[in-house]
Structures are given as C-alpha cells and as structure tokens.
Structure 1
Amino acid sequence: MTGDESRHVAVVTGANRGLGRATAVALAGRGIRVVLTHRGDPADAERVVREIQDAGGDALAARLDLADVDSFADFRADVLRRVEERWGRTSLDVLVNNAGVGLFGALEDVSVDEFDTVIGTNLRGTFFLIQALAPHIAEGGRVINVSTSLTRQVSPGTSIYSASKAAVESLTRSLAVELGSRGIRVNSIAPGPTATDFNGGAMRDDPELRRTLASGTALGRVGEPPEIADAIAALASDDLRWVTAERIEVSGGSLL
C-alpha cells in the first residue's frame, strides 16, 4: 500500500462512538475512505458518516457484531460489494480492530458468561475478523489492534479484560510475521486512561476518578479520544512504514 492515501479504504470496528468514532474521523481527515462498523442502533453510525462527509471526506456504515463469528462471511461480502460500488476498489488497505467489551470484577465475582463474553469478543472476534478480511487487504496494508495500558500495569478487577488484550498483543506479533511477506504491518495501540464512554463513561464523567488517574500520568491528565485516534492514523500512514509487531502505548506516561 503506497502512494496517495485518498485512494485508501479503512475498516474501523466499533466506530459509532468513542475512540472508534474519533479514529474514523482522524483517518477521513487524512483522505482515507472509511467503512465504520456498529453493533446496535445505526443512528449513531450514520451521524458519524454525515460528520465525515460534512468535513469533505467519505464513509459508509455497516453492522457488525464481533461476538457473532458466523456472520463474518456475510459481513465481508457486503462490505467488499459496497466498497467496489462506492469507490471502485476490490481490496482494503487498513483494518482497525477497535470494537471490544470491558466487563470488570474481582476474581470471585466473574461468571463463566462474563468470561466467555470478554474473551469471545475481544480475542475470538478479533482473530476471526482478521482471518476473514486478511485475504482482501492490499499488499502493504495495515492491521491495527486496539489494546490497553492495563496489559502493562495492574488494576484490581481487570483480570479478564487485561488478559483478553494481552492475548491480542501476542496475536499482533504472530500475525506480523504471518502477513509480513505481503508487506502488511500489524501493530497494537495501547491507550491509557481516556475520556470516552467506555465502561459507562467513568473516565469522561467522574471528576474525582479523572483527578486520580491524572495524578498518575507524566503529563498530568487523562487522554482525549482524538489523541489516541491520531496515533492510530499515524500507524495507518506511511510515516511509520518500518514499524511492525509493536505495542505502542499512548497514555501520557501513565503509572511510570
């Protein structure tokens, strides 16, 4: 994947809100055309599409439930058809695996269903979506997996979520080798505390929690979604074309 980024097409999962929305907007701001996925009500996703179009970019929305692996073949066929009809492309250039779930609890409180939901979505869903789309990613493309700073630092009640993301980071390194022969770079971005609606919007809406988290960062505050999104967009560009199999933490120096 080289040359004019305005020819490129990216798929961003979970892009109807939060970090995914910010990522779709950041990529579109670089001229990349975006397929943004959503799981529930399409209204939020369509608002993001309009936001991108109003700013001079182009995007389309597609429904995807990352926990429903059996739906991936139909999702792939639908997206490839729409991308060809809309933009005349038969391949993709960037896949950002942002969608995921966070269920938190102490060891004794985690249920089997909660465990299966987190691992089934964050690891199983991510793996099989890459499997489904990798044959259709152009030579020199990029796969960017969203992880978390919690794979480096420890916080009570985050065991299954952190484990699912640590597995994604391991997956990132392995797939960088498998896909490297096609020039495809595979990296993970590990956001620190960020003011999104994740986990009920706690880091965005709880002033006391924000102050506590900010006190543990070198830059003295929690992050904002565009700051994470810009790092993802940089990885998607040619600026970091010699970077693969890496975990890049974007946390403002959290808990050093």
Structure 2
Amino acid sequence: MTHQTSQKSAAKLAIVTGGSRGLGRNTVLSLAKRGIDVIFTYNSNQAEAAATTAAAGELGRRAIALQLDVGDVASFDAFVGRVQEALAGIGAEKFDFLVNNAGTSHHGDFEKTTEAELDELFNVHFKGVFFLTQKLLPLIRDGGRIVNFSTGLTRITVPGSGAYAAMKGAVEVLTRYLAKELGARGIAVNTVAPGAIMTDFSGGMVRDNPEINRRVAEMTALGRAGEPDDIGPMVASLLSEDNRWVNAQRIEVSGGMAL
C-alpha cells in the first residue's frame, strides 16, 4: 500500500520541445503551475533556457533544459540518452507527456520558395516531430498524452504561408494516425493549432507591427490578437485528466479567427 501511495503522489513529468521562449516557455510554466515537472529543449539560447528553468523553480517545480536541434534527426539517439540520464537523476524511468512545440517560421510565395527552404521546414516541422516521437515512445508511460503544435494557417489561407502550413497539415494527419496506433497503450494524441499570437515568432510580426496586430484583431471574434497566456494554460489543461477522453482532435485556439 505504501508503494502505491508514493506512485500516486509522484509528480507527473512532461517533455516540451522549444521550451525556452514563446509558446513553449508559456507551456512549461503553465505545466509547472499545475505541479508538473518538465524537461524542455532549446536550440541555441542558453540564457533564455536558464531563465525558464529559474521561473519554473520559483513556481516550486523542476525544469531541466537540454539542447536539441529538432531538425537534426541524426542527433536524436544521443538526445534520448540524455533524457534517460535526466530521468534517472530525478528517480524516474519514464515520462507522462510529450509536447512537440519547437518550430521555425517561413514566409514566401510558392513561386519563390526554394528546395532548401522546403527541406528545412520538412526536417523541423514534420520529420523531426515524426522521429523524435518515435524515439521517445518507449519512454512514454502507458496512459500518457502527446500534443503536436500546428497552426491556424491549416484552415485559414494566407498567401506566402503555403509551405509552412503544408508541413503543419502533415502533422495534423500524423496526429490522427498516432492516436489510432497508440490507443492500445491508452495514449491520447491531439493537435493544438494556435492563431496569430504576440510572441517573437516570425520576428515578432504580430507583437511588434501595429498594422498586422490591428488586422489580426479585426478578423478575430474576440477582438484582439492572441497572447502566450491564451495557449500555454490550454495545453496544460488538455494534458490533464479532465480531458482524458479528448483524442485525435485538432483544437484551434485562435479567439475565433476568420469565422
């Protein structure tokens, strides 16, 4: 009975890619507020990663930063080894939640998009999500959850965003297949598709350009552009037991854009 009690009281653990800034950072801290410890990845900015770790610590939770380029599949085996070391360091063997958030932006007309640009988008947004999830799957507990980030641009057509949106569309299809194939393990898999959010994504375009911000607000039912705090808490809620029966869904979190 004592062993069962300690199992129930143990903190849940999540892995969040791209957790040092923007929506990833907000997700890390939203999970921390719910009592969940986090391993998160960052690409190059150690200072931002350290700030996220410190912020989680102030909330009373542990956040461990690991460097990862999600577009470099060849590095994934070594990364999984580092995850296993991090888990062992906190007395765990497996984790509960995987949030595939890390990504890059791209704006360019179809006619001008190069093969190199398309390859980079594919490596980061689809191939990386596919194989990182595959490599981490043995470490995810049965009954766990996976959330893949997409974009409102898979529904709303904005010229110049076709290549980026197409990769996210592939992720949405992959999500449904993962939900079907992992159902036997009790693992729910969903897509979260944010609308236009005021972060440094795309060079801070929505946050820092008043004209774009105004246009976004005008096409949104709730009358403003989104903020990181509109997304992170929603993801944390989706990962909770309250939403255990939500599976294989694309959930747009946009305030009602382009209705």
Q: Same fold (TM over 0.5)?
A: yes
1:56-78: CA deviations, max 9, x gaps?
11111001101110111110111
**Aligned mates of 2:159, 2:147 — CA distance in 1:** 27
Question: 1:35: which partner in 2?
Answer: 39
**1:255/1:6 CA distance change after superposition, 3 Å:** farther
Runs of 4+ in 1 over 4 A off after TM superposition: 3-6
* Higher mean C-alpha displacement, 180-189 vs 100-109: 100-109
**Aligned mates of 1:99, 1:150 — CA distance in 2:** 17
**Aligned mates of 1:76, 1:204 — CA distance in 2:** 35
Identity of aligned residues (%): 47
- Please state whether the residue corresponding to 2:116 is helix, strand or coil: helix
After TM superposition, list the pairs within 5 Å mapping 1:231-242 onto structure 2: 231-242=234-245
Shift of 1:103: 1.3
**Aligned mates of 1:217, 1:45 — CA distance in 2:** 32
Shift of 1:191: 0.2
Look up the equivalent residue of 1:75 and give its one-letter code.
F
Residue from 78, 82, 103 that aligns with 1:78: 82
**Aligned mates of 2:158, 2:108 — CA distance in 1:** 11
CA root-mean-square deviation: 1.1
Residue from 196, 207, 219 that aligns with 2:222: 219
**Aligned mates of 1:226, 1:50 — CA distance in 2:** 18
**Unpaired runs of at least 5, structure 2:** 1-6
**Aligned mates of 1:189, 1:80 — CA distance in 2:** 27
After TM superposition, list the pairs within 5 Å mapping 1:197-212 onto structure 2: 197-212=200-215
Do the aligned residues in 2 keep the contact of 1:15 with 1:38 (CA within 8 Å)?
A: yes
Q: What count of residue pairs does the alignment treat as equivalent?
A: 253
Do the aligned residues in 2 keep the contact of 1:5 with 1:30 (CA within 8 Å)?
A: no
TM (norm. structure 2) is 0.96
**Aligned mates of 1:6, 1:234 — CA distance in 2:** 19
Q: Does 1:249 align with 2:222?
A: no
Question: 2:101: which partner in 1?
Answer: 98
Residue from 29, 54, 57 that aligns with 1:53: 57
Question: 1:111: which partner in 2?
Answer: 114
**Aligned mates of 1:191, 1:90 — CA distance in 2:** 32
**Aligned mates of 2:86, 2:115 — CA distance in 1:** 38
**Aligned mates of 1:135, 1:202 — CA distance in 2:** 39
Question: 2:156: which partner in 1?
Answer: 153
Question: 1:26: which partner in 2?
Answer: 30
Do the aligned residues in 1 keep the contact of 2:13 with 2:37 (CA within 8 Å)?
A: yes
TM (norm. structure 1) is 0.97
**Aligned mates of 1:106, 1:237 — CA distance in 2:** 40
Look up the equivalent residue of 1:196 and give its one-letter code.
T
Question: 2:4: which partner in 1?
Answer: none
Do the aligned residues in 2 keep the contact of 1:5 with 1:32 (CA within 8 Å)?
A: no
